[in-house]
Amino acid sequence: MKIAKLPEEIQQLSTDWHEQGLTVGLVPTMGYLHEGHLSLVEAAVRECDKVLMSIFVNPTQFGPKEDFATYPRDILRDLRLAYGAGVDCVFNPEPKDMYPEGYATYVKVENLSQRLCGQSRPDHFRGVATVVLKLFNITGADYGYFGQKDAQQVIVLQRMVRDLNIPIIIRRVPTVREADGLAKSSRNVYLSPQERAQAPGFYAALLEAKELIDDGETSVSRITNLVRERIENIPLARMDYIELVDAQTLLPLEKIQKPALLAGAVFFGKTRLIDNIFIE
């Protein structure tokens, strides 16, 4: 497995692969890999001839009071896991090489970026869209792999790709969960034992709402109120938002129409967890 630090190295490697007629899959990550990341690699390995993984804790998607400095990092462990999963090359750049002195260009996907998580993290998706577009340009990948847990991120990036005519296909890979339903996340390590024990209640509330929908309930207010009530009854949980929205525009719905997205963000202590269910 090759390890590259500079964008020029990846550009040359990808060019060489494409000249050989090989397809290239990209798995963008911020490292501290878990089974969710490895499921993206698995999907890429099935579909592509070569797989690139980026490991880069992107400073532009963190707010001033967020956890950029303390975000979990373990590059040696990540490299072992990437190698074992079948990654052909890991791109692990330094911030100065992604954002050189005087950097002034950013990508903002209007409207979609301001909804759901964008309400409490106003510049987050600007940072995500910018770094992902840079990774698309640097790698020249044919396919990009992203997890459903970050559903809004996937929707924002799909719109960016469409609007800017980027020649890449985005694959959305199902969320990987712990045995008790908690979505795999690098931030789960922040949870105290008590918070970790209560955190699966978030997904359980979403599942209960899904059952209500499957039974024929169409009132969005009844569905979201059920989820809010369940979360309010979790002692250590503090709700950021729970919304049921159109799965393409992220606009709020009054009555269920498909496809839809039931999504939320909940704090357990200082740890902000996100989760969602697609209604398809």
What pLDDT is recorded for position 275? 98
Catalytic site residue 18? Answer: no
> pLDDT tens across 42-91, in order?
999 999 999 999 999 999 999 998 999 999 999 999 999 999 999 999 99
| Beta bridge partners of residue 53, listed in sequence order | 27, 90
* pLDDT at site 162: 98
Cβ atoms 52, 25 nearer than 8 A: yes
pTM (whole model) above 0.85: yes
- How many helical (H) and strand (E) elements, i.e. helices and strands, does the chain have? 10, 9
Tell me what pLDDT residue 238 has.
Answer: 98
pLDDT recorded at residue 113: 97
Note the pLDDT of residue 225. Answer: 97
Q: How far apart are the first and last CA of the chain?
A: 39
pLDDT of residue 276: 98
Q: What was the pLDDT predicted at 177?
A: 98
Residue that the structure tokens 């992220």 belong to: 250
Q: Of 18, 34, 37, 124, which residue is the catalytic one?
A: 37
For residue 272, the surrounding DSSP H or E stretch is: strand 271-279
Which secondary structure element, helix H or strand E, spans residue 227, and what is its range? helix 220-232
- Return per-residue pLDDT of the chain as tens, 280 residues: 999 999 999 999 999 999 999 999 999 999 999 999 999 999 999 999 999 999 999 999 999 989 999 999 999 999 999 999 999 999 999 999 999 999 999 999 999 999 999 999 999 999 999 999 999 999 999 999 999 999 999 999 999 999 999 999 999 999 999 999 999 999 999 999 999 999 999 999 999 999 999 999 999 999 999 999 999 999 999 999 999 999 999 999 989 987 999 999 999 999 999 999 999 8
250: left (phi over 0), alpha (psi -120 to 50) or beta: left
Q: Which domains does the chain have, with CATH numbers?
A: 2-173 (3.40.50.620), 186-279 (3.30.1300.10)
